[in-house]
Structure 1
C-alpha cells in the first residue's frame, strides 16, 4: 500500500483522497505501482490548480462576463466534487467559493456601472431631445439643420435605455426633426414662390426698361427709370439662374438711355455755357447805365439790351440767379428813377403835398400858441401835454416838407 498526506492506494489498487468528510474513492489503478497511481491523480489535482489559477486571472484582468465566469467555476467545481484528484480539495473548493464571491462583486459593480451609464445616457438623450425641440422652432435653417444632423450622430453613439424610455425619447427627438424639416420645406417653398413672382415682375420691368431705352423725352423717362429701379428693389431676388441675366438686361437698357441723354446734355451744356458768357457781357453793358442821369436814354438802352438778352436762350441753371440778378438790379434802378420823376412832375400829387404841409403848419402854429397861453396861466401840466402833441405834429410836418421838396420846392 502507498500513501501521501492527501491520499492512499490500498491492496486492491483503489485510490482514495482524504477530505473533511472522510476518505473518498478517487478511482482504481491496475496499470502500475501504487506510487504511479498516486502520482497520476496528483497530476490531476495540479491540473485543477492550474485551471483555477487561470480562471482567477481571467476574472481579475479581462472583461469575462459573470455568466461565463460562473459556467467555468461550475465546470471546475464538478471536477473537484467528483474527487478524481488527490490533493487539498477543500482548498480548491475555498478558492472556488472566493472566486464566486469575486465574480458576484464584479457582477454588482458592472450592474451599478451599467445603471450609472444608463442614467447618464438618459440625461444625455433628454438633453438632445430638449435641444432638438428648441431647434425645431429656429429660422436659422442651415445652422439648425447641421446641428440636428450632429445630434443624430451623438444619439447613435449613446447606449440604449429600456425599450419604453428609449422609444418615448426617440419619438420626441424624431418628431422635433420632422417638425423642423416640415417648416424648412414650407419656408423654401414659399421662398421659391416669392422668387418666381420676383422673376415675373422683373421680366416686366426689363421689358419696359428696354422699351424706354430709345426715348428722347429726357425728364419724364429719367423719372420713370427711377420708379422702375424702386420697383426692382421692392420686388426681391429672383432665382439665382435668372437674377444676374435680368439685372444685366435692366441695367443695360438704362445705360443706353442715360448715355444718349448725357451726350445731348453735354452739347446743351456747352451751348448754355456760351450763352452765359454772352449774357454776362450784356449784364455788364446794362450796369454801365448806372447811376442814371438821363432816364429816357437809359430806358431805351436797357430795352435794346433786354431784347438781345431774350434772343440768347438758356444758361446753366446754377448760374441763372446770379446773372439775372444783375439785370434785375439795373431794371429796379430804372423803375425807381421813373417813380421819382413821376412824383416830381405830377401836379395833383404836388398840390396834395402842399395842402398837407399847409394844414400841418397851421396845426403846429396853433399848438405853439396854446402852449404859450397855458404857461402864462401857470397850467404847466396842460403845457407839457400840448408840447408832446406838438412834437408829433412837427415830425409829420418835417416829413411833408421833405416830400414837397422832391416836387421841386
Structure 2
C-alpha cells in the first residue's frame, strides 16, 4: 500500500509541475487546448512545452504589431489637424528644425513619429476681438511659419493643397499647412478671407473661447447670436466658394447646426473629441452632432488632451480651479503673484493630475467608428495647445506609432488606420478644393 500511495503521490506531484498563467490559459482555451490535468503522466510536460511555444508566439505577435505600427507610420501620410507651434514660438522662440527643450513638436520628433502634414494653428486669443490686433497677429504668425520653411527647406515645406501634401510626402519633406484658430482676424470683411487664403490658410475655426462677430462659443455662457451671426452665415458660404474648410471645433451647438444648414461642403472638427465620455462638456461633440457631421461627409479629429478624453480629468480641473480661487481670495493675492504660482505647484504635487491613457483615447476613435463608420474620424491632437495634460504614451509628435499600435490591437486593419491617419481628412480637403474650383 505504501508503494502504491507513493506512486500516486509522485504522479500527482508531476502533474502539478505545470501551472499555466492566466495569459496562457486564455490563449490555450482560444486554441481549444484543455488546461485541466490529463490522465497521461507526460501530459503536463507536453502541455508546458506547447504553452511555452504559444507564449513565444504571443510575444512575437506583440513585437510584430509594434514593428507594423512603425512601418505604417512611414508608409502613409499622417496629418494632424491641430498643432499650436506658432503661438508657442511667439511666447518662447525655439528652432523647431532641431530638437527643442520645450513643447511637443520639433523636426526630429516629427520624423520619429512619421508625422507628414501637421496643420500649424494660427491661434488668435479671444481678447483681441475687443482690443483689436487680430489680423496683425495672424499675419505675424503666418510669416513665422513661412520663415521656419525658409530656414530649413530640406526639412519643411508650405502646403496650400492636397496635391502639395502628396508631393512633399514623396520627397520626404514635412508639409506645414495652416489653419486659423479663431475667425477674429476676418474682422467682418470678406476681403480678409481672400487675403488669408492667399497666405495659405486652409481652414478657419470660426471662434475660440468667447463669442465673436462670426459665432457663439461653446466655452462662453453669453450666446448673443444664438448660433452663427448673419455675417457668420455669409462667411461660411464664402469659405465654401474660396476653398477654406469650415472648422466647427469651439463653436456652440446652435452654431454647429447653423453651419450644417449653410455649408455646401464637408466640414471638420479639427480638434474635438466625443462628448459621450464627457457629458455636459459642450466643447466635445455629441453623438447627434457626430451623426450630422458624418451625413455632411465631414471628419471629427480626436483631441488628445486628457480633459477632452475623461470626465475624471475634467472634474480634477474644476476642483483645482476652485482651490486656487479660494486660496487667492482668502489671502488677498494677485492672480499673477509668486504665492499663487507656488500654490499651484504644490497642489499638483499633493494632488497628481489624472492623465488619460492611450486606451482612453482609442475609446474615442472606437466610439465614432461604431457610431458612424471608419470614414469620419481623424487625428487632431492639440499638441502644444493643451499644456501638461497629454495622455501617457501620447506625449508628443513622436508618439503616433503608439496610437497606430493601439489601433492594431483593437483589430483595425491597415486600410482603416490609413483613413484615420490622413485619408479621411484628405478626402474632405479635396472635396472643398473641387467645390471651390467649380464656384
Q: Sort the TM-score into its range (normalised by shorter chain).
A: under 0.3
Higher helix share: 1
Higher strand share: 2
The one of the two structures with greater contact order (alpha-carbon pairs below 8 A, sep at least 6) is 2
Q: Which has the larger radius of gyration?
A: 1
Scaled by the length of structure 1, the TM-score of the pair is: 0.21
